[in-house]
Structure 1
Amino acid sequence: MEDLSSILSNLSLSDNKEKFLGEVKPSLSALTRAKITEGINSVDLIVLFDCLNTDKERQIEYTLDILKYLFSFMDPAIIIEKYGELMKHGLSHPNTLVPICILKQMERCARDDELTGMICQHPIFLPALRLLKADLSVYSEVSKFVLQVAETTTGARILLGAETVAELHLLGSLNEVIKIRVLEVAVRISQLSQEHLDEVDRVGLLQPLHELIHVDDILVKLNAVELVTSVALTHQGLRFLENNGMISRMEEILQSSRQDPFADILIPGLIKFFGNIAHLRPKLMIVQHPNFMDCLFSMAESSDLTQRAIAFETIGWIGVSLEGKVTLADLGNKMSHCIEKLEDLIRDSPTEIRIRGMNAFSSLIKLDKENQTNEFLSITESWYKRALGNRGSPMQLLVGIVKLPFADMRLAVYGLLNNIAKQGWGRREILRFPGFPELLLDRSTERDKDGKDAKYDLIQSLVESGEAKEVVGAEIDGRLREYSRLGAHHVQVQSQVAYEGD
């Protein structure tokens, strides 16, 4: 392709490559996509790779921009075939932008089973894998590439083959930080499927989990707890932890951590771990591991507002499901006493904590229409009154927040009110509160898109029930329906009359 070839030839002859590269992009943009696609495979990009052999940051950035642009027109297989060795050399470039660019091209190959086999058998593969020990930004890109490889049949077979696994074990032996990185990649692969988990476990890549949760180094232990939590997010991972006695060991750590000098740092991570399990299997977790619930309820009364927020977020996460709601309700006075502490969090805390408290309660009280039996409606209504009605009317608290000049808080309370409005007792609470329907109908109270949408969703829930007319009368019901019909972003146009002499 003559035009592109001419541009690259001039680059090779230029004495000031940085300046020339800065001026090349407009010239390339002037070429049609059809022309570049037609001729890209016949030109040589080595001159661009040569421009990376510098410590001039601007020159490197210009070169990478052009390479990425031209690579987007090329088959990734041809890129690896023609420039694989140069790319391998670029992985060790001291400027992290270079290996990151190369890894992104490798990731393109890893999206196809056939190309994955090609990239995994190329000499570039193992050097790329070794970058798990590199700068954090590079490590992040390597982990994306490895996960992409693992998602293909060919890639998973090579990645968990003897040579690659030996390399991963060797990397993990360098220090605790790299060991955790390798383990994090192994955990993410294990989340893909039962087959992936079985293979990752078979080759021993999950073994460090058993060791790291018992180390004295608090930072290492925190990372280990987080990784075990990630394993528990999938059903196959949870079975793995049960079969290996890891859940019992984590409970032992939870019990002993109360006396740990780093308890404030460690306990929230442990609570998150058990909370995720309780989300998947509420009855099993709460009944068989009472120490977890005791610790959770204790956190809900902590003087530390962040810990209290975590406790209620965990309770909300458990109570999202029907089984979770029933299991929590079956705790009787323990649950009732705990949830009464939520009102103080929502009333008197800093803005971020108040929002977290409202979102947590919104999850706990949510009940889909098909599940609204008398039993579940009774549970959610009783929690509403206990959680928000200790220092006055629950609606008085929520309406007070709607009137505040803080958009994020209003969004949180709209979400909570919307979940309440989808239940009969909740709709009556909202519609009967003096002045609140009129406040909702005032379009001037919300100025931005998110606020308008959130308020509209609440009004929709009130209208769709068909009960508003019975509760507040025909006039308000008609105005609510008109608001719904006109949409969230309707603007009332006010006519103006011009008088002579104005």
Structure 2
Amino acid sequence: MADWLQSKIVRLGESSSVEEKKAILSDVKIKLGNLNNRETEQISRNVDFNQLFTQLTSSDRELVDQVCDILKTLFGILEPGEVYLRYSAEISQLIIHPTAVVRSLVLHEILCIVSNPQKLPLLLRDVNLLVAIINRIGDENLMVAKCAMCIMKEIGKNPNGLQILYTGELLRSFAKLLAKNDTIGFRIYEVIVDVAKSSKEGLEASVQSGFLNSLFDSLESEDILLQVNALEILTQLALTEEGLSYLEQQEVVRKLVQKIAQANENPLSNLLIPGLMKFFGNVARYWPNEIFSKYPVVVSALFEVIESGDQTILGVALDTLGHVSVCAEGKYAMQALGDAMPCALKKIDKIIQRMPTALRIRGLNNLALILGVQKAEQDNRILSLTKSWFDSMCDDPLGMIVALCRQPFADIRQAGLEVMVVLASQVWGQEYMSSYPGLVEFLLDRNIESFKECKEVKYEVVKQLIEAEHDIFDANTMQRFRDFVNQGPHYVEINTEVAIEGL
């Protein structure tokens, strides 16, 4: 088999006809597809890849794509680093190939090497190749750039890689790209922040490089969009304890709080507020008490946005509230704010019923997060809290949710049923559902559900109700719930009619 392939590759080099070359490559691809891994591995080790590499100079894009497909198959069989060890000079050239698919092929091979800690040292000695990879972060093809970013992130997560990442020619290459334009600059910042959040040593090295301070400076730019991009990247750093601590030490968090406090003074603040909400919402999800106690203005701003009903930023505010309230600690932190949460829930009720569809669904999705409690965390205190929040929404909150679950629109119906799953998982919700007229029949009626997603969520509701306290539903209803679940979400009832002769 190896001889057959070698002869085909030789013929590939001899032929001057593009069409013949394409035919040869098609034969090779089909043949490789029919081999097992051991046979393909044997071929990969015996074939001279240089004869395939030379075909990558063709101006015919289809032919180049075919060669890349074959190389990808052969590369994938070998151990990470084998191709690099045999063809390091060729790899260095192909990484700057004019065709993006070739650059991508080589970078993916390098990514396999750096993702393997035992193989990574192979590359760390090749400074020229590392510089070439960094330069690809500025590639005009986004997929190529992202692959190069992934490689540098992996190198930065490794202690040995971290030692050389911000030194000499590599450091200068990062700096040059940062100065090129904002788009490429933020790709570099994404790599820097990823390294910084990966370990304490990564944070220290990233601080020493000076690049983090440069990112902080973007927050003071006159360009609001630049600030928004910087916020998005910094949010990732703030989700680590050391990262948040460093941001506080550098007074970055205090400055962001000031931006929220002064939002009304800047006519463009509506562009920045969603980013600020995301930042504090993500951070408060992990450290709600610290954020709320240190920065009360953030909480006030969150509730003000929800109360205002400003549709341009309302969605992000709802997401932030849902994010913060998803864990028990966050719920208690919100409870400590007094009437703020019940007032917000009254507003969410209005959003769910009256706003445009996208916001209604967002309101329902976040209501599910606000009311949801993991089984392991359920106790009298937190169940009493979620019940009081649900009751505060309107006069008949369950009736409102049931009405949404009966809507003929799949997206609203599904979002309403997802709230029902949350209610069905808590004792007070089970009690409400057991006494609501016609609700059990609605949940068990398969004929009224035509949407696949809704069938599956309704199934989850009934699954939760199987675990209800024994005295909430009668024995007959509990058996019907069990039968429904045993039949699965997509069970179809078949009614058979028997015709009797003479009638």
Same fold (TM over 0.5): yes
Q: Distance in 2 between matches of 1:64 and 1:500?
A: 71
In structure 2, the CA distance between the partners of 1:33 and 1:312, relative to structure 1 (3 Å rule), is: closer
Which amino acid in structure 2 is aligned with residue 170 of structure 1?
K
Which amino acid in structure 2 is aligned with residue 147 of structure 1?
K
* Contact 1:306 1:353 survives alignment (8 Å): no
In structure 2, the CA distance between the partners of 1:48 and 1:302, relative to structure 1 (3 Å rule), is: farther
In structure 2, the CA distance between the partners of 1:376 and 1:466, relative to structure 1 (3 Å rule), is: closer
Gaps of 5+ in 1: none
User: In the alignment, what sits opposite 2:136?
Assistant: 131
User: In the alignment, what sits opposite 1:458?
Assistant: 461
Helix, strand or coil at the partner of 1:258? helix
User: In the alignment, what sits opposite 2:38?
Assistant: 34
* Contact 1:111 1:152 survives alignment (8 Å): no
Q: 1:66 pairs with 70, 86, 101, which one?
A: 70
Counterpart check, 1:402 vs 2:408: no
* Contact 1:309 1:353 survives alignment (8 Å): yes
Which amino acid in structure 2 is aligned with residue 462 of structure 1?
L
Q: 2:152 pairs with 126, 146, 150, which one?
A: 146
Q: Distance in 1 between matches of 2:157 and 2:493?
A: 53
Q: Distance in 2 between matches of 1:30 and 1:234?
A: 48
Q: 2:310 pairs with 286, 304, 310, which one?
A: 304
Q: Distance in 2 between matches of 1:77 and 1:376?
A: 54
Aligned-residue offset at 1:9: 1.2
User: In the alignment, what sits opposite 2:475?
Assistant: 474
Q: Distance in 2 between matches of 1:496 and 1:57?
A: 63
* Contact 2:157 2:199 survives alignment (8 Å): no
* Contact 1:113 1:154 survives alignment (8 Å): no
RMSD over aligned CA atoms reads 2.2
Aligned-residue offset at 1:290: 1.8
Q: Deviations over 1:333-352 (max 9, x none)?
A: 23322221101111122332
User: In the alignment, what sits opposite 2:328?
Assistant: 322
Aligned-residue offset at 1:32: 4.2
Which amino acid in structure 1 is aligned with residue 475 of structure 2?
A
Aligned-residue offset at 1:381: 1.2
In structure 2, the CA distance between the partners of 1:499 and 1:147, relative to structure 1 (3 Å rule), is: farther
* Contact 2:162 2:205 survives alignment (8 Å): no
Q: Deviations over 1:22-62 (max 9, x none)?
A: 44311333444322212322221112212211332212211
Q: Give the alignment of 1:221-300 within 5 angstroms.
A: 221-300=227-306
Helix, strand or coil at the partner of 1:339? helix
Q: Distance in 1 between matches of 2:293 and 2:489?
A: 45
Q: Aligned residues, how many?
A: 497
Q: Distance in 2 between matches of 1:154 and 1:481?
A: 57
Q: Distance in 2 between matches of 1:279 and 1:75?
A: 42
Which amino acid in structure 2 is aligned with residue 38 of structure 1?
Q
Which amino acid in structure 1 is aligned with residue 132 of structure 2?
P
Aligned-residue offset at 1:453: 2.7
User: In the alignment, what sits opposite 1:99?
Assistant: 103
Q: Deviations over 1:313-333 (max 9, x none)?
A: 211211122222122112112
In structure 2, the CA distance between the partners of 1:99 and 1:438, relative to structure 1 (3 Å rule), is: same
Q: Distance in 1 between matches of 2:477 and 2:79?
A: 62
Q: 1:354 pairs with 346, 355, 360, which one?
A: 360
User: In the alignment, what sits opposite 1:25?
Assistant: 29
In structure 2, the CA distance between the partners of 1:197 and 1:501, relative to structure 1 (3 Å rule), is: farther
Aligned-residue offset at 1:261: 2.2
User: In the alignment, what sits opposite 1:84?
Assistant: 88
Counterpart check, 1:412 vs 2:415: yes
Question: Which moved further from structure 2: 403-412 or 336-345?
Answer: 403-412
Helix, strand or coil at the partner of 1:72? helix
Helix, strand or coil at the partner of 1:357? helix
Which amino acid in structure 1 is aligned with residue 439 of structure 2?
F
Helix, strand or coil at the partner of 2:115? coil
Aligned-residue offset at 1:496: 4.7
Q: Distance in 2 between matches of 1:169 and 1:497?
A: 82
Aligned-residue offset at 1:5: 0.6
In structure 2, the CA distance between the partners of 1:60 and 1:432, relative to structure 1 (3 Å rule), is: same
Question: Which moved further from structure 2: 273-282 or 150-159?
Answer: 150-159
Q: Distance in 2 between matches of 1:79 and 1:151?
A: 23
Task: State the identity as a percent.
Answer: 29
